[in-house]
Amino acid sequence: MSVLDVKPEYVGQADVGVVGLATMGANLCLNILDKGFSLAVYNRTSATAEKFVTDNRAKYGDKLTGAANFEDFAKLLKKPRRAMILVVAGPVTDGVIQSLSDVFEKDDIIVDTGNAHFKDQTDRANMLEAKGLRFLGMGVSGGAEGARKGPAFFPGGTLSIWDEVKPIVEAASAKAVDGRPCVTMCGKGGAGSCVKMYHNAGEYAILQLWGEVYAAMRGAGMTGDEIKAKLSSWKARGDLDSYMLDITIEVAGHKNAESPSGFLVDVTGDAIGSKGTGLWSVQVAMEVGCPCP
């Protein structure tokens, strides 16, 4: 008997479902479970879902269930159903949305957390609302560690959803220094993904700033240890303290035995990857005639 077989006592018991158990999905699941909610999971590769449930059942008991197909996944969820999608953005996400819409019923909720363009999220919201379903395009910021310990969320879509997902999302979110959850309903359609897009753009601008600070210090002849010490003294002042400064300090001082200077940054390729949100931010600013320096 598989742990993904649906027992009668599991039907309609899960507070929320998660589709996709890669690093982000698995970590967000554990975060939600730690907050006391019951959870159902589904993964395209059933063996992955089976392993996740088996590995964590001892800790979470019957609060964690899993399904081998979308029909059984839908059976596990309380009505109106609430499901979060954590799969690759684009056609894969569209496929999951279609599969869920085939088994979900009126007023059920689909939440996409991918880095989708906000215009695509608006189209998805309109399409699902026409079927009687409800949709959130909800960006997530914080990476795998944030998903586990508490990310920032950027929801946007059907406004009537918010009160129904708010307790789960706020509980799982990061908390500001004053205790407020790092999440707010951003507006209709793709508003959440639009805010997340510009949140990313802001991060990239700050990282560019710290990159230029590092380059200036390195050009002035400072060693990695000296740069780390100087940046740490700035952090201690308080007004510059941030996660972006924290990771810059860590990278600046990271040692590497194969580097002539002894520091990893001097043997690191001068190149970055991209998820597209920075480019989209500039393109949209140009479309509406707004400066975006």
Q: Are the beta carbons of 90 and 126 closer than 8 angstroms?
A: no
Q: Is 140 helix (H, G, I), strand (E, B) or coil?
A: strand
From the candidates 50, 170, 203, 226, which is the catalytic residue? 203
Amino acid at 40: A
Burial 54-78 (b: 16+ CB within 10 A, else e): eebeeebeebbbbbbebebbbbbbe
From the candidates 63, 75, 196, 228, which is the catalytic residue? 196
Q: How far apart are CA 38 and CA 254, in angstroms?
A: 41
Instruction: Specify whether 196 is catalytic.
Output: yes
Q: How far apart are CA 227 and CA 221, in angstroms?
A: 10
From the list 103, 56, 64, 73, the residue with the least C-alpha distance to 6 is 73
Active site residues per annotation: 196, 203
